[in-house]
Amino acid sequence: MASAKAIAGLGADEQSASSRRAGAGQVLGQDTNGSPTAQGDASALRAGVADGVSLHTAAGGSDRANSVRPDPPLLSGRSSLAWRVPLEARERIWKREFIDIFSLLTFAKEGADITVPSKEVDKHKWKRKVKPEESIDNWLEAFAMLSTVIMEKFPEQGPALCKYNRVIYEEYTRNGGTGWLNYDREFRQKMEQAPEMAWDCREIELWVQYMGNGGRPASSDSAFTKHKQARPFYFKQHTLAHILKDYPRPSERVMLFRGFSEGFRIPYAGPSVTREANNLQSAKEAPGIVQEKLEMELQLGRVAGPFARPPLPNFIVSPLGIVPKKELGKYRMIHHLSYPKGASVNDYLEEGSCSVSYASFDEAVDLVRAAGIGALMAKADIESAFRLLPVHPGSFHLLGMKWAGQYFYDKCMPMGCAVSCSLFETFACFLEWALKEQKPPGSSLHYLDDFLFIGKAGSDECRATLNAFEHLSRALGVPLAPEKTQGPSECLTFLGIEIDSTSGICRLPEDKLKPSGGTTACRNRASRVGDYEYRSPRKRGIFF
């Protein structure tokens, strides 16, 4: 068995062994003849640390150099590891293309001195062996080869590679299993698509999925079906980027692209603490409904879990509850981020981040009036509006939940987060602008996720404008609720108030007129949609 000897490659001259070790940023192994070996690299990289590299020497098999803080590493000219990999594979690695790391071990070369780089080395016939076992020892050996290839072109990445190596190895020693292997594979696949990713930056979502719980399920008796974590909203990024480039609001243009690419950050400015809260009484009284809702969110990839313990540092668990919808027997699950009062997630959001201005009902009436008597109206509703906004992994810890003794967290903006309305309204304003850029014949207006389309009587203007919006939504991947698409019609309910373009009257629909409090509901709606004077529970004024 070849002995291992750590050397540093910062100088070409013959320095002392201790001087070479002190400058180590890349660690290499040598056999008894001075030829570098992949096994030496693997054992040395196994000892890598975040800010310095602990080096192993072969003298007596027990000598250990002191930990040192390396300068940016340079690849030693004596290293052969990069030359064990064919040129084609090395070029793929330099381009950050994904490569099966274990395939690097299948390259073997017969009868050539591999210790000295040569122009002939890539012309040599390579022989493929059987793919090795996906073990930690083989991974360490293969990662040593991968690191050497990378540092041949990018020597400054040495410390980050050593840190990544340490993170993977420590996870294996703590938990075993295959979480470390899955994390590494998906991390490197993601690097191919994200040039800004660095080796020494932890990918939080992957970490939680594969290693935050030891790479194993939360418990064997979990009541929840295990779902592969899907992306919650498959928007068409290239289409979005193409349309956004002309959006005349620069700050919102950047925010939207980054938000849908990386996730939207929650502007939390509170203390970094771990906190748990009990669920609301409504959830305790209807556990089956909560279980069903969580199952659906897990299946859609909008919630992560279950975890046997808090999966992230400073994990804040807020209460779950349910509230009835307008439809009989249907409920909405709420995430109560305003609890506890005075110390909740919502209480610590940055000032001004939640302020938002909406279109008024008066503006909708003005558009109908402009279209004339008998104007045609249609409307469309974006499905699960807030849940289309992915959350940045750096904000996951703010959205913790606990149910049946297990932990979860939201991966999409919940309705209970005070900043959700502001963020979605920014997106909805962009959608309305993008629609108007297509110059449809009719007019349009939106209130959060509700879009209204108007055209003149007897024309196709309204239908054409609705069709244009549906086409835009499909192009971007924005889902619409088909059961809520209505019109074109001369009488349409928008924001809970019925608009009749033939008679020129706005009124509450019949289903809103109930003896138990029609007037109160009417006045609450008034404060939301405009400055109408409600003089009776039915008639709301002639606008023609």
Inform me whether the pLDDT recorded for 350 exceeds 90.
Answer: no
Summarize the confidence of residues 102-113 as an average pLDDT. 58
The reply to whether the predicted model has a pTM over 0.75 is no
Element (H, E) at 441: none
Architecture of domain 361-386+418-542 in this structure: 2-Layer Sandwich (3.30)
Question: At CB < 8 A and 24+ separation, what contacts does 188-191 make?
Answer: 188/98, 188/99, 188/101, 189/98, 191/96, 191/98
pLDDT band (50, 70, 90) for residue 86:
confident
Nearest Cα residue to 147 out of 2, 49, 6, 27: 27
Between CA 424 and CA 431, with CA 428 as vertex, the angle to 5 degrees is 145
In order of 177, 207, 302, the CA distances from 214 in angstroms are 8, 10, 22
What distance in Å separates the CA atoms of residue 255 and residue 356, rounded to the nearest whole number? 16
Pairing mode, strands 303-307 and 406-410: antiparallel
Q: Residue 74 is encoded by which pair of tokens?
A: 């340079």
- pLDDT given for residue 190 in this prediction: 85
Summarize the confidence of residues 35-43 as an average pLDDT. 41
pLDDT band (50, 70, 90) for residue 47:
very low
Summarize the confidence of residues 336-346 as an average pLDDT. 92
What distance in Å separates the CA atoms of residue 108 and residue 93, rounded to the nearest whole number? 18
Summarize the confidence of residues 64-78 as an average pLDDT. 34
What distance in Å separates the CA atoms of residue 215 and residue 208, rounded to the nearest whole number? 9
- pLDDT given for residue 435 in this prediction: 95
Inform me whether the pLDDT recorded for 436 exceeds 90.
Answer: yes
pLDDT, tens digit, for every residue of 4-32? 333 233 233 333 333 333 333 333 333 33
DSSP string, 202-244: --HHHIIIIITTTTS-S-TT-SSPP-----S----HHHHHHHH
Nearest Cα residue to 400 out of 346, 319, 342, 321: 319
Inform me whether the pLDDT recorded for 192 exceeds 90.
Answer: no
- pLDDT given for residue 299 in this prediction: 87
| Residue 481: alpha-carbon gap to chain centroid | 24
- pLDDT given for residue 60 in this prediction: 32
Largest Cα–Cα distance in the chain?
99
pLDDT, tens digit, for every residue of 236-262? 777 888 888 889 998 898 899 888 888
Q: Residue 101 is encoded by which pair of tokens?
A: 């790391």
pLDDT, tens digit, for every residue of 117-147? 344 444 444 444 556 788 888 888 888 888 8
Summarize the confidence of residues 148-174 as an average pLDDT. 86
- Say what percent of the chain tops pLDDT 90: 31
- pLDDT given for residue 529 in this prediction: 37
- pLDDT given for residue 58 in this prediction: 30
What distance in Å separates the CA atoms of residue 436 and residue 430, rounded to the nearest whole number? 10
- pLDDT given for residue 80 in this prediction: 52
The more confident residue out of 504 and 318 is: 318
What distance in Å separates the CA atoms of residue 302 and residue 335, rounded to the nearest whole number? 13
Torsion from C-alpha of 165, 166, 170, 172, nearest 10 degrees? 10
- pLDDT given for residue 260 in this prediction: 86
Q: Residue 362 is encoded by which pair of tokens?
A: 């008066």
Residue 301: count of CB within 10 angstroms of its CB: 18
Q: Residue 84 is encoded by which pair of tokens?
A: 């064990």
The more confident residue out of 195 and 283 is: 283
**Cβ proximity of 260 and 390 under 8 Å:** yes
Highest mean pLDDT out of 90-94, 215-219, 224-228, 235-239: 90-94
Inform me whether the pLDDT recorded for 539 exceeds 70.
Answer: no
- pLDDT given for residue 115 in this prediction: 36
Nearest Cα residue to 167 out of 198, 133, 145: 198
**Cβ proximity of 134 and 181 under 8 Å:** yes
- pLDDT given for residue 449 in this prediction: 92
Inform me whether the pLDDT recorded for 298 exceeds 50.
Answer: yes
- pLDDT given for residue 37 in this prediction: 42
* Residue boundaries of the structural domains of the chain: 17-211, 361-386+418-542
Average pLDDT, the chain: 74
350: left (phi over 0), alpha (psi -120 to 50) or beta: beta
In order of 32, 39, 409, the CA distances from 44 in angstroms are 16, 9, 38
Element (H, E) at 387: none
